[in-house]
Amino acid sequence: MPDARGEGTDDGELDVGHARSPRASDPLTTGRSHDPLETEGWAPVRRDLRRRDAGALRTMLGREIDDLVDPDGNSVVNLVLRLWARFSQAVYDEDVDVISAELEIAPPEGGDPVDWDTVVAHVFDRIVTLLPPADTARGARCRATFAVFVSCETVVFWEYSVVAAEVRAMRRGLEAVGAGMPVEPASAPDALMCHEVVGLAVDLLGAVERQLDVEQAMAACAVTAVRRTAGAARAALAAAAEEAAELRGRVAASGRLGADGADGAESSGGLPEDLAAHLDALLALVLDDLTGTVPYFALLADEIAPASEAFLANLGTRTDDAAVADRLTRAAEACRAFEDSDVGQWSVFATEVRAHRAPLEAAAAYCARPDLETLELVAADVTYLYPFGLPVAGSATDVRRELMAALQEAGGGGSSPIETLAGVPVVIDDAPRSDGWLASTWVQDRDYRAFRVVFPDHELVLETADGVTIVGLDVDLRLSGMGNHYVRIRVGTDTQVEGAEHRRWNAHDLEQAVRRGGQFAGAEQVRFRARTPGALDSEEFGTLLSLATRIVGDVARSAHRLVGSPPADLDRDLGIVEGFLARYCQVLVMVGRAEAVTAGGGRRALVDVAALDGVLGVTTALTAQRALAQSALEWVTYESPSPEVRARRTLAGRIRRELIWCAGDLTAVFGPTAPHWQVLETEALAEFASSLIGVFWRRQQWLRSVVDDAGRHLAGNDAAGATHAAVADLEDAERRLGEAIRHVQLLVDRANEHVLSKDQQGREVCYHLIGLNGVAELQRSLGATVQAALSTQRFLQERLDAEHRHERALAEEEGRAAEAEQAERAEKSRQRPLEVLLAVLAVVGLIDLFGWVNDAVGIVGLSVWWVAETVAIVAVAGLLLWLGMRAWRVSDGERERRRRVRSVQRERGDLAPPGER
């Protein structure tokens, strides 16, 4: 099999830096003569690591710490593996909110990158704290095991996600683990050896970082950078392999010395038998993985990248096709030799070698065809469109409308709501408008007024992975009254390249240009460079997407600040900006002049659609935006679209003098015979069609949030008889939902109105692009959301109608109660004179009774008796008056008590209408 230089070794083992790992038959202290990775405990670990699965790795770690308990008596293995599982999920999701809460650290604010150094430091510190002290033999062994576990888990992470920041943080975390192990020259052999294993794991993660550099260069399809970084990765891997092999040899020697000392292994200067066997298995696992890794990077550095460079260098002249074909063929054969080797049968990198071999073989076959023509662009540009919409704030204020009003005031001399973007000052101006749109002035001023935000004091500079500096990329921000905002960045064949004359683009240049717009642009740097005295350069951004994310985030901050939105609303918006722009970035390829290059350097102009057939590289402009590159020459293998696909995606022949092709998130316009003004009009139509994505998606998310809020109100008040406050909340939710529905329906209506350009050709272009670039799907999805909102609104209205009926029934009952009370009062009023009369008659009767008694007994003239009779009469009269007043007050109190009870029951919703009792 090939060694690090692409050549075979005599004994079939991998030669990495002239250091060969010990053979599986090398005896250790246990006297075993077989590979430790063949044992029952370690074979699953090797198997899973080879296929980039972490299941058995975690089992191995759990087995090592299975008997440990924390001071509270809890199982350490459960605590460690559960924490690691949550950390792994955070790595895969790029979301650390859950793990941050558990670690009691602040999560990143909206839009800010994750601070993986802090997260990893806390995770590692918590795990290491659960292990025995570092100055004990068991503690040192556990730390060595954990370090190798981390290095192996890292390559598993990498298989599923881009983890550059995480790998760097884990390397630093393991460095801290090693620094926490007190190692002195006089330390025990087991402590020294375990410390060196931790150091090896740190170096392995450093080698992974070098491999990630290769991935970044590959993502940019930067062939020269791939060759350079692959060479650095091979050197780092070879050094790690040599270190692991040398350390494994010393473990074996120390293990034999320990075995000779039997129970006195420590005093004999050797390792205990079980520790020697364990460390040997860990190191064997590391070397096994390196055996399958190093050949891939050796092939990249020595065969794949150099052959690819030769192919690209020949595209402009086509004068060396035969030699290039031979070079490509030899590289493809080297790839196949690795695939067919024993290691290639199991190495995960063999799949990547196959991905490289396919374009090498295809390129070699193309070079062997003298009739083949290759594409060269004389005048072309690529525009990156990052559409976005501004949300409606939680206060129901239309942020978009407020922002546009402020911008209009700024144009009249007022203060601008946007003064800087991406850290540099900006100027706001009216955006140019093609006369192809409807010329209704009042409609344009109300809905379609657009502003352009430019950077007059700075120029945008792009440094590619291959070290090329491109200066003066066009960049501006378009803000529209309809809400279809977007960031616009353009690079073309006329864009200045430092240190080089104007040069044409070949298909590979176009491939790199198309890739720059997305999240997998690779190792490139973007910054604003000052071009006026007193101005300062901006910070560096990793990609054009990162720059657009910062610009959109700054616009969102300005808009929210303008209306005073809660911080939570802004954080939520900033948290989704980058993901949204990465998903919905649109690329517009405009080709004005192109030529086909034949073998020997001949050229012919491409002036019509038919001339494009069979030209290598044309499909580069017709293929949707790319995911992470599988090979540096991936574009060579792009297949020509079938007739059915071509018919569906192409708008040509029937209108204009252009080929308009839409592959979803990529639109290509080929117009070699179209005048410039027509190209500008088509470009404006394409930009408009792409910009609708942002406003439709954002309004859909906003409408969904309003619907969800209304649903929560309905769920919290699911029975008739709600309180006045609850009914008011339902009415407010119904009002806000109705406003949201109206707002979205007007948006769709205005967008459709805007599509009605002056001429049928313009409308057909718009409808063609909207039907293919994702806007039509968003429209349908938005329509479904509107239907759901209307259903929720009907439920709210029915619920409110029930509440209103309930209130009317209660009001009617209270009215009847009031009438009954009034009748009772009237009856009392009629009874009171009669009661007074009866009381008077009673007193008079008592006087007559006393007079009759006096006459009968003959009591006449006794003043004492008369006084007594008078007192009795007065007492009886008073008693009758008291009894009457008391009965009146009791009646009034009972009525008031019943009134208060009904009022309380009504507030609580406990009082049902009469028909329901």
The rounded average pLDDT for each run of 10 residues, N- to C-terminus, in the chain (917 residues) is 37 36 35 75 95 94 93 92 95 90 86 89 96 92 96 94 90 95 74 94 97 94 95 97 95 72 53 91 96 96 96 93 96 97 95 96 94 94 93 61 72 73 89 65 60 92 92 93 90 90 88 91 91 88 93 88 78 82 92 92 88 91 86 92 86 69 92 87 90 89 87 69 70 85 82 66 85 89 91 84 74 74 70 66 67 66 63 70 64 62 56 45
The dihedral formed by the CA atoms of 465, 468, 474 and 480, expressed in degrees to the nearest 10: 0
For 398, the token pair is 């239309």
Rounded to whole angstroms, the Cα distance separating 324 from 309 reads 10
Residue 86: its H or E element: helix 76-93
- CA 122 distance to own-chain centroid: 23
pLDDT at position 658: 78
For residue 233, what are the contacts with CB-CB under 8 A and spacing of at least 6? 207, 210, 211, 213, 214, 297
pLDDT at position 336: 97
- CA-based max dimension of the chain: 164
Give the single-character DSSP code of 454: E
Rounded to whole angstroms, the Cα distance separating 310 from 898 reads 99
Burial of 34 (0-12, 13-18, 19+ CB in 10 A): exposed
Contacts 24+ apart (CB under 8 A), 699-704: 699/389, 699/483, 699/743, 699/744, 699/747, 699/782, 700/744, 700/778, 700/781, 700/782, 700/785, 701/391, 702/391, 702/392, 702/740, 703/740, 703/741, 703/744, 703/782, 703/785, 703/786, 703/789, 704/785
Angle at 294 between CA 293 and CA 299, to 5 degrees: 110
Nearest to 596 by CA among 366, 374, 377: 374
For 798, the token pair is 């029915």
pLDDT at position 179: 93
Residue with tokens 């330390």: 187
Handedness of CA 163, 167, 168, 172 (dihedral sign): positive
Residue 386: its H or E element: strand 373-388
Segment 72-82, tens digit of pLDDT: 889 999 999 99
pLDDT at position 442: 52
Rounded to whole angstroms, the Cα distance separating 253 from 234 reads 28
Contacts 24+ apart (CB under 8 A), 492-495: 492/379, 492/380, 492/381, 492/382, 493/377, 493/378, 493/379, 493/380, 493/381, 494/379, 494/381, 495/381, 495/470, 495/471
Residue with tokens 């975690």: 58
CA atoms within 13 A on the CB side of 694: 31
Rounded to whole angstroms, the Cα distance separating 297 from 353 reads 10
pLDDT at position 481: 80
pLDDT at position 643: 85
Residue type, 227: R
pLDDT at position 666: 93
Handedness of CA 84, 85, 86, 87 (dihedral sign): positive
pLDDT at position 784: 92
Pairing mode of beta strands 373-388, 615-616? parallel
For 622, the token pair is 């017709």
pTM exceeding the 0.85 threshold for the entire prediction: no
Contact of 455 with 535, CB cutoff 8 Å: no
pLDDT at position 681: 86
Rounded to whole angstroms, the Cα distance separating 503 from 150 reads 48
What are residue 472's phi and psi, to 5 degrees? 85, 35
pLDDT at position 551: 94
SS3 content of the chain, % helix, strand, coil (to 5): 60, 10, 25
pLDDT at position 3: 39
